[in-house]
Chain A
């Protein structure tokens, strides 16, 4: 059965292998050069302090690959699902050859097991090889200009693409089995894959581990009219999930350091001179000179005090929730495991379906 599976799969496998070899060769040669460049320019300039020029110059290296590689990493796992997963069973059902295969001296369980194992392993291996190489290749750039947790980066580096490949393949096989036709199965596979990954990235991933929170007092505009910069002490590689302005009762009254829906400063001064906080009400005792229409909120020392009294009265403070950068590999492992488990469940379903329902 292994030999038959290989015979059916070998042209695709060898073609992909050839492309992989070329890609790997290019990445290896340019990658070694990049690491060398990074060590000699960026790392060494960090010692002296001013790095802006060296980093900017470095970021222009191998621009084509730098721009082209992330999209490849994005589409590779679903392509595996669409072109290797979906037709795997669907094609046999569509052309009737399953009747030939299932009436040889091999049970259909074994038939499915070998097909899924051989092609599934090839899928994960191909994606894994490209991803590991690309992760290494892109690491100098990543360390300069991006947060590894950002949605565009997290799923295209490290381990998770292996999980995605296994999942995409399993989705393809399952959908192909259910729809019994290759082309519709390919379309449904891509839709199901994108849907699941978006759900994971936007809804589930932030909560894989309980985020940490930092609480800080709400900074009041100072005498010069400026707002003191929030400093929560997080590193640029931490993954900030939310920064909310909250009153003493826990009611959220603003986002991103402001009060009110638009992230504005949020103190309204009525024509009568009363100070209001949107969503909370009028500050007791605060009375200011009404602003000249069209001008900015006048902030004098006196105003600052009035705002501060208001903040104190309502217990307004900032709450930052975030995932620290140190959890990066834990997140990678969790998400990879989740997708491998999903893939295993789908494959298990396929076995049940082939044995019980497709009869």
Chain B
């Protein structure tokens, strides 16, 4: 089965600044992928490269086995909801549905109409007069009704209030269940994604820090609390991702495939948020990162 999104050594430079460097990931099809990272980590760049709005400076990106935006067919296979969900302010909701029908041969008019009806949007309403949540829903409708195989959403809920967030994600998940979509959605908040994602990619400092199945990640990461120890004394199969030290006590976040056998540790499971934060922190504190690499040697 072809991967939904595959990148090799992908990098993008804007004038002098690299927004994304050496990004190599494979995202399997049929998953709901959370792309998490702090602001400016390269999430938008990665998504826009995947949909063909941007061209890579170096490396390769393959989407559903094809080059992004290489042909109308390829464009039709990928749905995209851009950050801040742009819509034509002067055009009405109905006009936007027409737009979708005119520009997409696989357009599902019934589904679009049904969604607009269920959302309670007035077809005559101009998009410029919609609330942020309604606009996001309209943009999502456009992206879903073109019947893509892969749906990319760039911070779709960032500007929405909590209620609208929940509603938006709920609609998204219904569509995923109905259409067997692959979805990649980005956010700088893990909490937004926790409920919907089964695959996670953490992007920080223009680099991929972590990628993998959510359950697997949760099963292999542990928080270890015990008497103070230096990270370089940790066993070789335990990769130290993060740590905090007090005079007497050490807290490590480690990645380890097997069970933790050392009885000195109190082992706790991690929430997705803790996990993501640990990987994000690795990038923001480069010194710590070097030491944790040493810890691998044991």
Which residues of A sit under 8 angstroms from B222, Cβ to Cβ?
A: none
Q: In the complex, which residues 63-112 of chain A have their Cβ closer than 8 Å to any Cβ of chain B?
A: 95-97, 99-108, 110
Q: A1-B103, A4-B102, A4-B103 are in contact. Are A102 and B87 (CB under 8 A)?
A: no
Does B72 lie within 8 Å of A359, measured CB to CB?
no
> Residue on B with the closest CB to A5?
B102
Does B86 lie within 8 Å of A105, measured CB to CB?
no
Q: Measured between C-beta atoms, what is the minimum distance from B137 to chain A in Å? A: 14
B residues within 8 Å of A by Cβ?
48, 51-55, 69, 71-73, 75-76, 78-80, 82, 84, 86-91, 95, 98-100, 102-106, 139, 142-143, 146
Does A105 lie within 8 Å of B51, measured CB to CB?
no
Which residues of A sit under 8 angstroms from B146, Cβ to Cβ?
A: 104-105
Q: A97-B86, A99-B82 are in contact. Are A105 and B99 (CB under 8 A)?
A: no
Does B80 lie within 8 Å of A99, measured CB to CB?
yes
Q: In the complex, which residues 94-149 of chain A have their Cβ closer than 8 Å to any Cβ of chain B?
A: 95-97, 99-108, 110
Which residues of B sit under 8 angstroms from A97, Cβ to Cβ?
A: 86-88
| Docked complex Cα distance between A288 and B39 (Å) | 94
Q: Measured between C-beta atoms, what is the minimum distance from A33 to chain B in Å? A: 42
Does B98 lie within 8 Å of A105, measured CB to CB?
no
| Docked complex Cα distance between A127 and B290 (Å) | 68
> Residue on A with the closest CB to B100?
A104
Which residues of A sit under 8 angstroms from B86, Cβ to Cβ?
A: 95-97, 99-100
Does A106 lie within 8 Å of B89, measured CB to CB?
no
| Residue among A3, A7, A105, A107 having the largest count of chain B Cβ atoms under 10 Å | A105
| Docked complex Cα distance between A100 and B99 (Å) | 10
Which residues of A sit under 8 angstroms from B71, Cβ to Cβ?
A: 107
Does A100 lie within 8 Å of B87, measured CB to CB?
yes
Q: A97-B87, A99-B82 are in contact. Are A104 and B104 (CB under 8 A)?
A: yes
Which residues of A sit under 8 angstroms from B100, Cβ to Cβ?
A: 104
Which residues of A sit under 8 angstroms from B55, Cβ to Cβ?
A: 359
Which residues of A sit under 8 angstroms from B75, Cβ to Cβ?
A: 103-107
Q: A1-B102, A95-B86, A359-B55 are in contact. Are A103 and B95 (CB under 8 A)?
A: no
| Docked complex Cα distance between A100 and B52 (Å) | 12
Q: A103-B75, A107-B69 are in contact. Are A96 and B102 (CB under 8 A)?
A: no
| Docked complex Cα distance between A4 and B101 (Å) | 10
Q: Measured between C-beta atoms, what is the minimum distance from B45 to chain A in Å? A: 12
> Residue on A with the closest CB to B49?
A359
Which residues of B sit under 8 angstroms from A95, Cβ to Cβ?
A: 86, 88-89
Partner of A102, one of B69, B99, B102: B69
| Docked complex Cα distance between A99 and B88 (Å) | 11
Partner of B99, one of A4, A107, A110, A359: A4
| Docked complex Cα distance between A106 and B54 (Å) | 16
Does B102 lie within 8 Å of A359, measured CB to CB?
no
| Docked complex Cα distance between A55 and B295 (Å) | 103
> Cβ of A43 < 8 Å from any Cβ of B?
no
